[in-house]
Amino acid sequence: MALIMPLRGFTPEIGKDCFLAENATVVGDVVMGDECSVWFNTVLRGDVNSIRIGNRVNIQDGSVLHTLYKKSTIEIGNDVSIGHNVTIHGAHIHDYALIGMGAVVMDDAEVGEGALVAAGAVVLSKTKIGPNEMWAGAPAKFVKMMEPEKSRELNQKIAHNYLFYSKWYTDPDNVHEE
């Protein structure tokens, strides 16, 4: 069972039908929507400020979400995919965004609806990524616009896939492939 730790008078709130891997850690002021998945070795540390997560968000293995004391918060919309080994520190991620593996998104950065942050990108503090934009590099820079329908379709598919994968862990009789 995941480590879910109350701290400073805050107890994490986990929505319905969520999967938290056995060694995931969720601490303090964290509120998570429904049908989310928090994968192995992931840490959601709401000890110094709040973390708010929408519905159908997947936070993949080894990711760390944290904030600055009394300065930054994390807000993540619906149907967001956060790749393996991502660090999000006090940023706002809008609906249908995709944060690629190993990316870093710093305090007060904003990732727009349907935007894609490429694997390994470093999004500096206060950077504003617009809707359906792709950014890459270190520091991250604008690469191109993405078609809104394709972006949304891709990100909803990934979110759906992770919901499907999580059922393998929560329903031992579910061994089916999609």
What would the pLDDT profile of 103-136 be if each residue is shown by its tens digit? 999 999 999 999 999 999 999 999 999 999 999 9
Residue 1 pLDDT class (50, 70, 90 cuts)? confident
Residue 101 lies in a domain: yes
Three-state DSSP state, 111:
strand
pTM (two decimals): 0.94
> What is the spatial distance between Cα 149 and Cα 32, in angstroms, rounded to a whole number?
26
The more confident residue out of 160 and 3 is: 3
Token pair belonging to 60:
């993949």
- DSSP H/E element including 110: strand 110-111
Q: Residue 28: is its pLDDT beyond 60?
A: yes
| 30 within domain boundaries | yes
Q: So what's the pLDDT on residue 119?
A: 98
Give pLDDT tens digits for 44-53: 999 999 999 9
DSSP secondary structure letters along 5-58? E-BTTB--B--TT-EE-TT-EEEEEEEE-SS-EE-TT-EEEEEEEEEEE-SS-E
Dist. CA 64–CA 178, nearest whole Å: 29
Q: Is residue 178 part of a domain?
A: no
User: What is the domain-level CATH number for residue 159?
Assistant: 2.160.10.10
**Which range marks the domain in which residue 89 is found?**
3-170
Percent of the chain scored above 70 by pLDDT?
97
Give a yes or no: residue 60 inside a domain: yes
**Domain count for the chain:** 1
Is 41 a domain residue?
yes
**107 in a domain, yes or no?**
yes
Residue 9 pLDDT: 97
Q: Residue 176: what pLDDT? A: 62
Q: pLDDT at residue 177 above 70? A: no
Mean pLDDT score of the chain: 95
Residue 175 inside a domain? The answer is no
Is position 79 within any domain?
yes
